[in-house]
Structure 1
Amino acid sequence: MIELVIFFVILSLTVTYKFFVGEIVMRTTFIEQLVAYAHQDASVYLLTADLGYSVIEPFKQAFPDRFINVGIAEQNMIGIAAGLAMRGKKVIAYSIIPFITMRCFEQIRNNICYQNMTVKLVGVGGGLSYGSLGHTHHAIDDIAIMNVLAHMNIVAPASRYEAQALIPDFFSQPGPGYLRLANTDETFSYSELCRPQLGKAFEIIPHDEHLIIATSNALDLAYKVQTELAALGVDMGLVSAHTLKPFDGDFFEQKKATLKTVITIEEHSVIGGLGSIVASVLQAQNMHYVALKVFGIRDVYAHTAGNRKDLLELVGLTPCVIVNAIQRNNSIGAV
């Protein structure tokens, strides 16, 4: 019995350490930006449902009267956030993604979105970031859930660089918002000429005809795919769709005369996520001639626990699988 307890303690510490190292950059950026925002605006409040330790302390120490830990009560947290917003406060509610989006969905819909309250939901652990903790902690349907809510804006930065540029404007926007933070490898660097802007598609590698569009922590994977395709003589651009709602339809409009192929990659279900959003925009703009291929997690749950890398291989989100699928696909064969 003692050996079993020791095993689970070591496993828990290992999981926590790996996730903390992998995502600390993104979460640290969030809290740095939030503290700076709160120094400028005395109406900013931070709520948490007994999560975020080793992250939220700078805010708690700087503004103890504007920090509320509601305990393990996410539905109650949303009610409190809505009440504060009704009194003119600007509220940030923080938790891991399944808890901040799914456990309290009805309260988000009725208390925040229906009344168009200025409450920002900040969720950590996008995609399979919390892979080792099992399917209850996998965030593979959050974008779809948040996207269906009226007034809800969705921002999913792919890196610390994007988060630094986007979070201040995200905080300052009126109305509801959802910020998706995730475990990222950050395997590439941005050109100094590239500067992400909230609400605008971020074209990292320009191309007028053929594009790979990714969001959140799938951008690293998309970059690897783009690089491997280039080595095979297949030239494609790379775009970060950090603002998912409202989506930048003007980006496609500007390429209407030249765009031929769009490939989307996301660490999320293919139902209701980036691929669905892009398909909807292309249809609305009558760009039916554009070949669209969507890569993400199929209509399944992972019935196993493991690290993010292993789970991505399990669901087929690897450079090798995607590159081979693109080469086999006749509709994109002319890329």
Structure 2
Amino acid sequence: MIVRDAYFSEIYELTKLGEDIVIVSADLGAPSLDLFRRDFPQRFISVGIAEQNLLSVAAGIALAGKKVIAFGLNPFPVTRAFDQMRNLLNNLQIPITVAALNSGSCSAECGYTHMPIEDFAMVRTLPHVCMVNPSDEIIAKEAAKKLLGKKPVFLRFDKNISGYRYDEEIINFSRGFVTIGLESELSIITSGNIRASVENILPKLKMLGIDVKLIDAYAFPFDKKEFIDEIKNSRYILTIEDNVLSGGLGSLVLEILSDNHLNIPIKRLGLSFGNNLSECFINRDLWYEKLGFNEKQLCETIRKSYLELNKYDNNKKKI
């Protein structure tokens, strides 16, 4: 099942076991919510298409002692209700979980209004909000078990991600990332749906003589000290994200390098748009093809970026 349904299925089981959970929805349903609404109708509230009201109602219920999930269609719980996120979740630290369907470009066919390509940059300005970008069903299920009612949380669900890649015991939301592979001169840092694509092409990269350490950053803010320990021996870093580059994952890594005086060449790959926006928002597959992000092209994209970083590093040594 997709990560959203994995999450809500776990929520249903927790409610059956006696957890005091309430779901507030901005006029949005899901197959995984059908059983919850049937068996716990008094615990499901729809506020209509009103995301600001969604978070305000959720905050009141949370202050009454319930474990509350505010469920809406991304980007609206962030872009339309950022004032509520900023004040209720970040400033007052009310432990609401904002569960948002759609991350990045997964709903590109709906147009720019339905593409939350800036939400990562916006939410990471809120230091008390734990942002989770599940790359498999286990992360989604563990978020339900370990985070609900404990702290303010923003969940970014990609409707195209499903399957199991991790064991429960390695998911640690304080650490915030998983490393795949041993030490190598190239570290690729990514998140969400791109993580699986990169792992799938690791054998092809190895055939090209490129060994990779893959870092799946799934929770933010992550443990910066442990992250530095993972990347400090890298000669090159490549970040790949399904977000705009401004303020995104690559920007976060650049800030960490700068703040800790680490001089490692870095290349950022992400969503960048020219003047013809109407040509970009078609669907994710076509847009990834333009960017060189689909699985067939990604190997060549990484190879070229690796050569570019290597050339930069060699030029720097000559100087």
TM-score, structure 1 as length reference? 0.83
Matched, 1:327 2:302: no
Deviations 1:142-173 (A, max 9, x none): 1111111241111111122332344421225x
Matched, 1:314 2:295: no
Aligned to 1:233: 209
Counterparts of 1:193 and 1:47, CA distance in 2 = 27
The structure-2 alpha-carbon separation of the partners of 1:124 and 1:227, relative to structure 1 and needing over 3 Å to count, comes to farther
Counterparts of 2:167 and 2:7, CA distance in 1 = 22
Counterparts of 1:218 and 1:171, CA distance in 2 = 26
1:191 deviates by 7.1
Maintained 8 Å contact 2:23/2:45 = yes
Counterparts of 2:184 and 2:174, CA distance in 1 = 20
Match of 2:187, as an amino acid?
Answer: L
Indicate which of 267, 270, 292 corresponds to 1:296: 270
Counterparts of 1:190 and 1:107, CA distance in 2 = 34
Aligned residues: 307
Maintained 8 Å contact 1:226/1:238 = no
Indicate which of 46, 52, 56 corresponds to 2:23: 46
Aligned to 1:281: 256
1:209 deviates by 3.8
Maintained 8 Å contact 1:48/1:69 = yes
Maintained 8 Å contact 1:208/1:255 = no
The structure-2 alpha-carbon separation of the partners of 1:207 and 1:142, relative to structure 1 and needing over 3 Å to count, comes to same
TM-score, structure 2 as length reference? 0.86
The structure-2 alpha-carbon separation of the partners of 1:248 and 1:44, relative to structure 1 and needing over 3 Å to count, comes to same
The structure-2 alpha-carbon separation of the partners of 1:255 and 1:49, relative to structure 1 and needing over 3 Å to count, comes to closer
Counterparts of 2:8 and 2:38, CA distance in 1 = 12
Indicate which of 220, 224, 242 corresponds to 2:218: 242
Matched, 1:84 2:61: yes
Counterparts of 2:301 and 2:184, CA distance in 1 = 25
Maintained 8 Å contact 1:184/1:220 = no
Maintained 8 Å contact 2:68/2:148 = no
Deviations 1:256-291 (A, max 9, x none): 66232221111111111111111222222222x222
Match of 1:139, as an amino acid?
Answer: P
* Identity of matched residues, %: 27
In structure 2, the gaps of 5 or more residues are none
Deviations 1:282-312 (A, max 9, x none): 222222x222211111255842442321121
Query: What SS is found at the alignment partner of 2:32?
Result: coil
Counterparts of 1:27 and 1:33, CA distance in 2 = 10
Indicate which of 167, 180, 191 corresponds to 2:156: 180
Maintained 8 Å contact 2:174/2:222 = yes
1:202 deviates by 0.3
Counterparts of 2:234 and 2:125, CA distance in 1 = 28
Aligned to 1:20: none
Maintained 8 Å contact 2:62/2:94 = yes
Find runs of 4+ consecutive structure 1 residues off by over 6 angstroms: 191-194
Maintained 8 Å contact 1:202/1:241 = yes
Aligned to 2:236: 261
Query: What SS is found at the alignment partner of 2:278?
Result: coil
Deviations 1:105-139 (A, max 9, x none): 11221233221101111111111111211111112
Maintained 8 Å contact 1:226/1:237 = no
Counterparts of 2:82 and 2:232, CA distance in 1 = 41
In structure 1, the gaps of 5 or more residues are 1-23
Query: What SS is found at the alignment partner of 1:293?
Result: strand
Deviations 1:3-57 (A, max 9, x none): xxxxxxxxxxxxxxxxxxxxx5212201112112333454321011111232321
Match of 2:312, as an amino acid?
Answer: S
